[in-house]
Structure 1
Amino acid sequence: MLHTTGALASVDCRSFRYPPVPTMSASDCLVTEMPDVLLAALERADDAIIIVDSARRITHFNAGAERIWKLARAEVLGRDAELLTLKCLHADPIAEFRDEISLTRHDGSRIRTAISLSSVANGGVTHHVVFARDVTTEAERRARIALLDTVSDQTNRAVLITDTELDIRYTNAAFTSLFGYSAAEAEGRRATDLLAGRHTNRKALTRIGRRLIRGGPGGEAEVLIYTRDGEEIWVAARIDAFRDRKGRVKHIFALLEDITETRQLRSLQQLIMGALADEVPIGEIADRLCRRVEQIAPDVVCSLLHVDAAGLIHPLGGPSLPDDYSRALDGVAIGPDVGSCGSAAFHGEPVLATDLDTDPRWQRYKAMPLAIGLHACWSTPVKAKDGRVIATFAFYYREPRAPSNWHRRIVEACVNLGAFAIERKEARAEIARLAYHDILTGLPNRAQLRDLITTAIDACPTGSHVALAFLDVDHFKDVNDTLGHAAGDELLVQLAQRLRDQIGPEDMLGRLGGDEFVILLPQRNAESAERVAAGITEALAAPLKLGSKLMPMSASIGISLYPDLATDIDTLMQQADAAMYMAKQAGRSTHRLFSAEMNLLAEQRLALIAALRRAIAEGALSLSYQPQIRSCDGAIHGVEALARWHDAVLGDVSPAKFIPLAEECGLIEQIGLWSVREACRQLANWRRAGLSIPSVSVNLSPINFRNVTLAARLKDILAEYELPPNALMLEITEGAFMQDGAAALETMNAIRELGVGLAVDDFGTGHSSLSRLVHLPIRELKIDRSFMRDIENDAGALAIATAVVRVGQGLGMTVVAEGVETEGQRRTLAELGCDVVQGFLYAPALPPVAFERWVVEHSAGQARAMLGRFDIASVDRGAAKRSA
């Protein structure tokens, strides 16, 4: 089809002949004299061609014009050009014109039209030729392109379009912002030359490009590329192609997202958190961290060193460093001139050595790193929350240089992650120590003692012996009852020290719990073991000093012998325990060696079990109640119900004795349910009598939580005494959810759903994971009384108590401190934010009647204190009014 826009600008119509149009005058010769071939060409042109004479009458109107104006030529020819609504024809004189206009057609519709107006002279008469083309579709396409360009510039992802030779044809504003190149600087340059660098994974990009050229789909890649200033940026590149109708690639399109922080740095965090959750050893965690860092920063060699409490360096991670280099660092003391890491740890500030060969801090240590091609080192100290330097995180470089901004961002993230991981390691080491060591004395506890005894038995040579001594402090309960638990704890600490002084370096001392100790004596026969026991009895004859008081003390010791008397660990321990009871019966402050005659002890234990069964059946057990006081206002938070047993023959039997016995003989579940029922009955009576007791706490054994019907039983008891569920709190030890964890957790969830509260008793003395605690339906944490000892002066005890309070606060739990006996302890706990305290400071465990009197006196004291504060406030207000 012929395109004629502007083609008649120089036509002289005098050379053409064309039959005249009857309605036209002689002045219209431009049309009438046109040859047929030219007229036919104008008629078949795609564009509209209109000729207007000097009188502004339309003398030619081709088929293209009919299509654009939607007018038949018969309606147009000879009429005034005003019919065409072209303003360019209204001017006087009519001038040359070329523009794109919005044209309103005869039927009212509007189109976008490209208009060109030219003038043609014919025998002194001027004709005007209008060329018009419908560009509506093209204009809409341009508008869409402009809109897309605007949108592209608004996105935070960089857009890059190249031709098949990878020469850049388009970039958006985000590209400029991210890489520093303007559109003018980028266009025409090869994309790889502009962005790729030393460590860019060109192969990944090439694979995608080849796949696109072969007609395959696009793809994604994570690559390290470089800005105009040479800084590294990790991007996620989504690459695809624009194809023509035949499927041939015309342009390559890349959408680039900066993942330096959102994905690469976050991957470091996910790596550390995942490894910690999987209980991966700290050395392996450090190696994984270093490997990942070296993936996202290929130009560095990474190292993580631990700094112990003595200021000695120990390699944790550095998989790309030679083993002999890491071994050479182990045990080096930090100092001001000990390379980059030792200096950074010493000063607590980052240390950069851009050239190891000349840096004065490296002169004693440079030979080995230089030999393996490392020429620069940047080390940053890793600090614990208390400000201690616990590690260093270092980048080694293969050429003298300083770190880039990307490296600084990595280190900033890794220092925090390293601190978290190492502090977690230290915390877990402390938890492990607590799991196998007694908190009060630091001695091996029951769990570790069994391992130690088993090891000693397994290592016992033929013909040799292993002696085991059980030691129980005489009249220890009297110390607690008269002087308080703090004094009792101090006695046990001093006792442990005296026992250490009486045993040999190969012997082992441990604490079973309460006032019971075990002494393991490898390679000792009966005579040697009895000499040790006699020495202990003599050493304990001197009184202990508890505060300002001298406290006489003694202990009863029972000894058993492997393999003469027992051939397994359980029998050995049972026999030593039985011999200790015989020493008690012999008048205390002595020792006994187990003999066959001591089988009587087993009979006595059976008798004790029978007495306990009768006590349960006859209701001889009772509950005493110890108040729990809110720290914020001194009000009663609740009471703890504690089981007591007084036997007509045996006298007062300590819970430390009959509770383990009940667990052994299967009575503990019965005692637990009885305790709940009795505590609820007493609470209901108090409430009916007008005593405001918010709730009662009852201790249950882990065995109780193995019973799937426990929640239903509790619901029935609460209904029986018309108590709401929140009036009852069940105290459990960490063992309740460590043993039979799934069944116990199911029962605990059912109890919590019922509305009954759950408290973890003696928190911190077990070996449960904090991650387990997060998923348990616990309402209260109880700090064990052992942490109260010297909490005002012992930084360790204060730190542990602080940690428990923070854990409770973070998990939205109420924190209760047991064993509070002094005002100083109460004040310290209040400053820590501990919610509730209980202990001898307020009251011991009291029988119901005595507890009722205590509640009345406490309430009266609270009222007097409140009234006193009111009176003081009134006086202050009166004085203020008078002064005004």
Structure 2
Amino acid sequence: MTEIPDVLRAALECADDGIVVVDDARRISHFNASAERIWKLARAEVLGRDAGVLGLPFLQADQVADFRDEISLVRPDGSRIRASVSLSSTTVGGATHHILFARDVTAEAERRVRIGLLNAVSDQTNRAVMITDTEQNIRYVNASFTALFGYTSEEAEGRRAGELIAGCHTNRTAIAKLFKRLIDGGRRGKVETLVYNKDGEEIWVCARIDAFRDKKGRARHIFALIEDITETRQLHSLQQLIMSALADEIPITEIADRLCRRVEEIAPDVVCSLLHIDSAGLIHPLGGPSLPEDYSRALDGVAIGPNVGSCGTAAFYGIPVLATDLDTDPRWQPYKAGPLGVGLRACWSTPIKAKDGRVIATFAFYFREPRAPSNWHRRIVEACVNLGAFAIERKEARAEIARLAYHDILTGLPNRAQLRHLITTAIDACPNGSHVALAFLDVDHFKDVNDTLGHAAGDELLVQLAQRLREHIGPEDMLGRLGGDEFVILLPQRNAESAERVAAGIMEALAAPLRLGSKLMPMSASIGISLYPDHATDIDTLMQQADAAMYMAKQAGRSTHRIFSAEMNGLAEQRLALIAALRRAVAEGALTLNYQPQIRSCDGAIHGVEALARWHDAALGDVSPAKFIPLAEECGLIEQIGLWSVREACRQMASWRSAGLNIHSVSVNLSPINFRNVTLAARLKDILAENALPPDALMLEITEGTFMQDGAAALETMHAIRALGVGLSVDDFGTGYSSLSRLAHLPIRELKIDRSFMRDIERDAGAVAIATAVVRVGQGLGMTVVAEGVETEGQRKVLAELGCDVVQGFLYAPALPPVAFERWLIEHCAEQARAMLARLDMGTAGRDEVKRSA
């Protein structure tokens, strides 16, 4: 074995790498200290031995060749390390030596594995990772960085971060301060800023920045974890802004202003504008804090159209409109001075649509250079269009709710609640020595319109009346509707004389009839007037006093007006007391029925009876039906009274029949309101069953208005009643607006000629002609004709000659209580029997005289 020179041996001994020298016989001739550490073998154990003891297969080959690699080395004790090994051959002193260099790279290999794993994890995260040196030169980026910004690692590494992703609106100052703090040993931090991708598109990011430090705490690398907050933070901030503002009931103009300001924060290169488009197609600025005020004011009230800038055109067509150069765009010529004057060169406007498709607003971006919107701008607008639509529709809905709460739905006039506010405002503004007049208007005979022509016609009348009233009051006067046919006119700074002139002018204006469809409807109203502060100083009293004065105008013959006086308070109190007493009477069963007979013209026999309600009050005495029936209709008791009348009349009929008084039928008057109740027929059936009466024992008297109105429910109820077998009689026929063609197709069994025709029937050919026509029409349709209000024998004779079937009136008897009616009926039957005997006696006497003469 050739000896290694001492100099060389000393050099090999000092090397950090493990050095093994193998001679040409494959025996180990040198094994330095580093080799002892790598193989965990003492040199005495290996020197002179075969190289196979080292566990290196390439040293055992017949032909040993040069080798360089990183291998897994198994030591003689079974442990394993990672080693970087290289083998080369050299000739020393004419002999060939193989020199093996070995280095334990286990720690380095493990570090590389960890780095590889870290790279894999880094590439899997959805956040961008960027590592720079202390000079901001990029040393590493992950796959998410590439996905977010478009730069590959090769394109990014080596470039300065500020040159790569920063732009004109990046917050370089905040980044520089944080970078300096980290270099100086300070704590980590984060920055939210606008950066730019490879294509120049804006991206809002949150960058959490920290330093990698050496053992001495010196910053060696800067680490940035970058999160895209465009959607999660910036766009959501717009949504939060809108929702919070709506929840706080902030006015829509303030919401629009806040929205525009926030948009300009997250898109610094735009100026934002929000315009409202009303139902008439007119523009109204909502928000545009960075636009010139005079420019925004000039847009207010401009009509949208095909060439009205970007916003007016977008609203007109319902599609986004881009004008990349306002100076040359033909649509902008009349409007360009304002934006161009503050350096705005382009405008992109997008329509905001409601759920029903109508354009309710536009959202616009102005740019400081001729350009189109970026993708970031489009994402902002997409969010803002939806948010704007939600905010505006919600505000419109709330405004409509508020309008409905304070305005009458039918006429659009202020309602009772709003009127109180208006009256309070007028009183508060009333100068010393001045007055506020309150005119309370009620339509005369409005119920007749509803009953005869239907509620649709009644509603149309009220709408037309409201329009006519508006036209005949002053610009400072205010008109409102309390409900039904009641209106209030507020007359600020008007004394009694001035208020009466207004009332007289209204009376004159109402003299011309209103047209309802094909009909001309004459109309009038009664007006009551009260004055602040002469009559009262509070709203409730003023209203009550005007109401009381209006009732005095009604009692004076209607179609007139009255000024309140102190005496009217007593009358109003009497009316309220009467209503209260009527409610008690209905609740306690204090009403009664009287019965008036109906007599057949052909033989004088009883045809039936009509049941008529009567009221005797312990304090008020006898109250006329002409007084309490309208009162019952007014205060909502009429339907209850009608059903009670049917039940009581049927009970009395059953009682009479069980006592042997065979009365064919009883007629009961019902209100049209009863016939709007679809359960009426079923309730009649139950009442008849309770009293074991056949259906034809009951006749219901109805006014012409019940079947003339268009209510399908009333007609359906009438047919159900006739199908039950109960009769229907038209009361007061000839005084309304009867349609004979409709009458022929309705389930009517009886017609009643109104008593108003009886007064002059003995001497007035017109009255006779009307009665004749009614008799002929009724009998021609197979109906029984009844004349009511017959008081004289002459009237009876005329009706008998006309062929009228039945007569009713004081000629025979007034309406009588049950016991008195029973006595009358017995006497009437006895008189009928006496008359029949007398006729028989006369007949017998006549035959005897003939025999004697023969």
Q: TM over 0.5: same fold?
A: yes
Do residues 318 (structure 1) and 254 (structure 2) align?
no
Q: Which moved more, 1:316-325 or 1:461-470?
A: 461-470
How far residue 535 of structure 1 moved from its aligned partner, in angstroms, is: 6.2
Encode CA deviations 1:559-579: one digit per residue, 9 max, x unaligned.
212222112323212222333
- Which residue of structure 1 lines up, in the alignment, with residue 165 of structure 2? 195
Q: 1:581 to 1:317 in 2, by over 3 A?
A: same
- Which residue of structure 2 lines up, in the alignment, with residue 90 of structure 1? 60
Partners of 2:36 and 2:93 in 1: how far apart? 29
> 5+ unaligned residues in a row in structure 2: which ranges?
592-614, 618-622, 638-709, 725-854
Say if 1:48 and 1:66, in contact at 8 Å, map to a contact too. Answer: yes
Match of 1:517 among 484, 487, 493: 487
Matched residue SS, 1:121:
strand
Do residues 241 (structure 1) and 215 (structure 2) align?
no
Kindly report which structure 2 residues correspond to 1:519-598, keeping only aligned pairs within 5 A, or say none: 519-530=489-500, 532-533=502-503, 556-582=526-552, 591-598=561-568
How far residue 196 of structure 1 moved from its aligned partner, in angstroms, is: 2.1
Say if 2:351 and 2:385, in contact at 8 Å, map to a contact too. Answer: yes
Matched residue SS, 1:102:
strand
- Which residue of structure 1 lines up, in the alignment, with residue 569 of structure 2? 599
Name the count of aligned residue pairs.
618
- Which residue of structure 2 lines up, in the alignment, with residue 253 of structure 1? 223
Say if 2:435 and 2:492, in contact at 8 Å, map to a contact too. Answer: yes
Matched residue SS, 1:193:
helix
Do residues 439 (structure 1) and 409 (structure 2) align?
yes
Encode CA deviations 1:800-827: one digit per residue, 9 max, x unaligned.
xxxxxxxxxxxxxxxxxxxxx988xxxx
Letter in 2 for 1:343: T
Partners of 1:612 and 1:251 in 2: how far apart? 97
Letter in 1 for 2:412: G
Match of 2:275 among 305, 328, 344: 305
Q: 1:575 to 1:822 in 2, by over 3 A?
A: closer
Kindly report which structure 2 residues correspond to 1:136-155, keeping only aligned pairs within 5 A, or say none: 136-155=106-125
Over the matched positions of the two proteins, sequence identity in percent amounts to 80
- Which residue of structure 1 lines up, in the alignment, with residue 103 of structure 2? 133
How far residue 108 of structure 1 moved from its aligned partner, in angstroms, is: 3.4
How far residue 468 of structure 1 moved from its aligned partner, in angstroms, is: 1.2
- Give the number of the structure whose alpha-carbon radius of gyration is greater: 2
Q: 1:312 to 1:565 in 2, by over 3 A?
A: same
Matched residue SS, 2:231:
helix
Matched residue SS, 1:298:
coil
- Which residue of structure 2 lines up, in the alignment, with residue 383 of structure 1? 353
How far residue 205 of structure 1 moved from its aligned partner, in angstroms, is: 0.9
How far residue 55 of structure 1 moved from its aligned partner, in angstroms, is: 4.1
Letter in 1 for 2:372: A
Encode CA deviations 1:88-139: one digit per residue, 9 max, x unaligned.
2233312111111122333433322212222343555544333322222211
Do residues 180 (structure 1) and 171 (structure 2) align?
no
Do residues 230 (structure 1) and 230 (structure 2) align?
no
How far residue 244 of structure 1 moved from its aligned partner, in angstroms, is: 1.1
Partners of 2:107 and 2:233 in 1: how far apart? 43
Matched residue SS, 1:572:
helix
- Which residue of structure 2 lines up, in the alignment, with residue 427 of structure 1? 397
Matched residue SS, 1:205:
helix
Do residues 452 (structure 1) and 452 (structure 2) align?
no
Match of 2:385 among 394, 408, 415: 415
Say if 1:152 and 1:173, in contact at 8 Å, map to a contact too. Answer: yes
Q: 1:214 to 1:543 in 2, by over 3 A?
A: same
How far residue 504 of structure 1 moved from its aligned partner, in angstroms, is: 4.3
- Which residue of structure 2 lines up, in the alignment, with residue 292 of structure 1? 262
Could you tell me the TM-score, scaled by structure 2's length? 0.64
- Which residue of structure 2 lines up, in the alignment, with residue 745 of structure 1? none
How far residue 162 of structure 1 moved from its aligned partner, in angstroms, is: 1.2
RMSD: 4.0
Say if 1:511 and 1:518, in contact at 8 Å, map to a contact too. Answer: yes
- Which residue of structure 2 lines up, in the alignment, with residue 279 of structure 1? 249
Match of 2:328 among 358, 377, 391: 358
- Which residue of structure 1 lines up, in the alignment, with residue 375 of structure 2? 405
- Which residue of structure 2 lines up, in the alignment, with residue 69 of structure 1? 39
Matched residue SS, 1:385:
coil
Partners of 1:619 and 1:403 in 2: how far apart? 81
Letter in 2 for 1:467: A
Say if 2:579 and 2:635, in contact at 8 Å, map to a contact too. Answer: no
Partners of 2:374 and 2:82 in 1: how far apart? 55
Letter in 2 for 1:559: I
- Which residue of structure 1 lines up, in the alignment, with residue 649 of structure 2? none
Say if 1:647 and 1:653, in contact at 8 Å, map to a contact too. Answer: no
Partners of 2:590 and 2:162 in 1: how far apart? 90
Q: 1:292 to 1:505 in 2, by over 3 A?
A: closer
Matched residue SS, 1:512:
strand
- Which residue of structure 1 lines up, in the alignment, with residue 131 of structure 2? 161
Encode CA deviations 1:171-211: one digit per residue, 9 max, x unaligned.
22222222232222222222112222222221111111121
Matched residue SS, 1:521:
strand
How far residue 279 of structure 1 moved from its aligned partner, in angstroms, is: 2.4
Q: 1:90 to 1:618 in 2, by over 3 A?
A: farther
Q: 1:484 to 1:68 in 2, by over 3 A?
A: farther
Letter in 2 for 1:302: C
- Which residue of structure 1 lines up, in the alignment, with residue 298 of structure 2? 328
How far residue 250 of structure 1 moved from its aligned partner, in angstroms, is: 0.8
Partners of 2:517 and 2:616 in 1: how far apart? 34
Partners of 2:185 and 2:634 in 1: how far apart? 81
Partners of 2:50 and 2:118 in 1: how far apart? 43
- Which residue of structure 1 lines up, in the alignment, with residue 435 of structure 2? 465
How far residue 439 of structure 1 moved from its aligned partner, in angstroms, is: 0.9
How far residue 532 of structure 1 moved from its aligned partner, in angstroms, is: 4.8
Matched residue SS, 1:439:
coil
Do residues 218 (structure 1) and 188 (structure 2) align?
yes
Match of 1:266 among 219, 227, 236: 236
Partners of 1:240 and 1:449 in 2: how far apart? 68
Partners of 1:106 and 1:93 in 2: how far apart? 24
Do residues 113 (structure 1) and 83 (structure 2) align?
yes
Say if 1:54 and 1:128, in contact at 8 Å, map to a contact too. Answer: yes
Partners of 2:279 and 2:370 in 1: how far apart? 33
Q: Which moved more, 1:258-267 or 1:470-479?
A: 470-479
- Which residue of structure 2 lines up, in the alignment, with residue 675 of structure 1? none
Say if 2:291 and 2:339, in contact at 8 Å, map to a contact too. Answer: no
Q: 1:329 to 1:200 in 2, by over 3 A?
A: same
- Which residue of structure 2 lines up, in the alignment, with residue 818 of structure 1? none
Q: 1:609 to 1:207 in 2, by over 3 A?
A: farther
Kindly report which structure 2 residues correspond to 1:748-787, keeping only aligned pairs within 5 A, or say none: none
Letter in 2 for 1:224: L
How far residue 442 of structure 1 moved from its aligned partner, in angstroms, is: 0.6
Q: 1:255 to 1:92 in 2, by over 3 A?
A: same
Matched residue SS, 2:291:
coil
Letter in 2 for 1:142: R
Matched residue SS, 1:128:
strand
Kindly report which structure 2 residues correspond to 1:831-870, keeping only aligned pairs within 5 A, or say none: none
Encode CA deviations 1:389-419: one digit per residue, 9 max, x unaligned.
3333333333333333323333333333333
Q: 1:561 to 1:302 in 2, by over 3 A?
A: same
Q: Which moved more, 1:586-595 or 1:326-335?
A: 586-595
How far residue 143 of structure 1 moved from its aligned partner, in angstroms, is: 0.8
Could you tell me the TM-score, scaled by structure 1's length? 0.62
Partners of 1:482 and 1:591 in 2: how far apart? 26
Partners of 2:513 and 2:249 in 1: how far apart? 48
Q: Which moved more, 1:140-149 or 1:505-514?
A: 505-514
Partners of 1:609 and 1:216 in 2: how far apart? 88
Partners of 1:647 and 1:140 in 2: how far apart? 114
Letter in 2 for 1:361: R
Partners of 1:105 and 1:229 in 2: how far apart? 57
How far residue 367 of structure 1 moved from its aligned partner, in angstroms, is: 3.9
